[in-house]
Structure 1
Amino acid sequence: MHADRNTFHRFDKFNSKYNPIGESILREIFIKTDNYVEGKYFAHIVKEVMFDLEESKYQNSELRLSIYGRSRDEWDKLAEWAVKHRVYSDNVRWLIQVPRLFDVYHTKKQLANFQEMLENIFMPLFEVTIDPASHPELHLLLEHVVGFDSVDDESKPEQHIFNLDSPLPAEWTEEDNPPYSYYLYYTYANMTVLNHLRRRRGFHTFVLRPHCGEAGPIHHLVSGFMLSENISHGLLLRKAPVLQYLYYLAQVGIAMSPLSNNSLFLSYHRNPLMEYLSRGLIISLSTDDPLQFHFTKEPLMEEYSIAAQVWKLSSCDMCELARNSVLMSGFSHKVKSYWLGPSYYKEGPESNDIRRTNVPDIRVAYRFETLTEELNLITHAVRTDELDSIDEEETLTMGPVLGGR
């Protein structure tokens, strides 16, 4: 199942790698939750991964589970699988990935319009938030779900530009797939309402952390900047300096996977990770499809060790990447306090406990002072511009009256 040179810039061949001997049935049997054996084999594999994480003690993962939006009972089936097989670990949190495949389901007559897909994804979540007893197993699963991810091949051509004239989800009945920004906006809009409700009910909230900027047009990164907590990949920021600067100013986290990118979209030596890190963007190293791109039972260690060798990362760089990954993660405040220190959420050097992070205070202070100076520069420029425009208006209103004394 390993990706090879044939997958470079060929996402279709990458997907077909999950079908050994050209048959999707093996994928259905071994890495799906909803099949004739009720996801038994997949649960066994997940529990092995969890056991390895618990044994290593210092590694924690955010694993992905898929919700497709084809039917209203998907969430209940997924929750039933999770509870029945007890796929739980203190070292693991779940992100729910939603593949952007509306056009496929619409063509197969499984969905009449985009609104139906949104309702299949979000209605069970509203129901279980209002009354946990209505979906008891889903309520248990959501205790360990931290956010949503949007996934698919970003390089697919998009026929539609999302604007005020775009059809509403209930009116989207076209054969074409909605654009990336359309998916992201309506996911964000529904999540925002859901999070307000969950907060009022005393439950934890979800974040949006999509795959973004791996390929395709630059405007995906604009959507990600406006709507996301963090993003994955962000390779195309290297081609958009202004957008890269905005990601820096807003400190939007970017989880990068150089080994995955090396097989799919960008050779390892051209990966901009080191450039981003040097400039002060919030960067972390993560794995992406370990079955495809890694060769050992320690995929994250592969990412760190290869990055350290290729880019000659110092121990300070490595620890900063690790600290960033904790800050960006969906683990609880209590867990982050244990790993990074009780003041991790503050700004500047006081947020850093060197005994736990191993990041020198001088590195954290440098990052904070540089960011503060940049923000001061921007706000000073805005203020100066405003004052200049006020002066111009006053000059115009107080100017001489022509023909008068």
Structure 2
Amino acid sequence: MFSKTDNLIGEANSFLEILEQISQLAPLNKPVLVIGERGTGKELVAARLHFLSKRWEQNYVKLNCAALSDSLLESELFGYEAGAFTGASKRREGRFEYADQGTLFLDELANTSALVQEKLLRVIEYGEFERVGGTRTVKVDVRLIAATNEDLPTLAENGEFRADLLDRLAFDVVTIPPLRERREDILTLAEHFATKMAQELEMELFTGFSKRARETLLDYHWPGNIRELKNVVERAVYRNSPHLPVHDITIDPFESKFRPQGRTKAPPANASYVAQNRPPAPANSASVNLAGSEMHEQASSEKPSASVPQALKFPVDLKQVSQDFEVDMIKQALKESQFNQKKTAEKLSLTYHQLRGYLKKYNLLDNSDVA
């Protein structure tokens, strides 16, 4: 039964506190909100909440809200009556009815529309709803667990998420720490995934990690968290000789000197505005490819290249302008630190591993000046 949650492994204090919180929450028939970055195990936490509850013998139903359009999501959650729309030849029950007496887990909750949020609020408050195209009230007893990697309080302040629904959902909030904040758990999880992969490959045993492999695993910042760690470890095990400790760790499977360059994207409709608002580059500036986008590197040492235009002409490509600004700021800090990454991280108020993440994100590790 608990095989669904056996990846909830760790000894870090922050993680053990989460397990204790789950144990206290599980027996209650109250909604729970699970918050965490991608790959931290939100679905595993939700499953544990169900299987440790009094509802463990009843249905545990899951739905990813980001995978469906608004109209399909409403029909999937609440069902529909015959004739409700074209193609609805007969009545269909929704996920809430399937989960009656059990638990419904809604992932990516922040993607729901205002209409769906309103109906969710009614189910939580009164335990009732109406199917799409219907007028008869359907009553259910469902425990709702929702998850997201978004900052819901900020979305609610900005009017992008119903504040009253957030209040109802947040009886208690389980916030899962990212893997970079659980450094002492990295090797424990890596051993677990490696052993499972060795069994899948029908190896006699897993021969462990070399010192270099362990250092590589510990030094990486894991933006994809446990999901990324699992992929990296399983890839390393299957590529490795079954009789030797794992030595080579490939973080990025796309990394290769033979990697083809991506197609050049057509400029966005507002490209001219971006060009007008970007600071002019000196004649000796070098063009570099960063994260698949064309950016311009200023070589002038007289002033920082990360200058923000005083008068922007809208519309602009905010993501592109922000990315240009980040890259220029990192390069300036590297230059002033004589390309010492630890000093650069201090200048930018980042940890060393966070800086390494930015350097990798913008392909600056390939630049000989940053090596």
What is the TM-score when the length of structure 1 is the normalising length? 0.22
Higher relative contact order (CA 8 A, sep 6+): 2
Higher radius of gyration, 1 or 2: 2
What is the TM-score when the length of structure 2 is the normalising length? 0.24
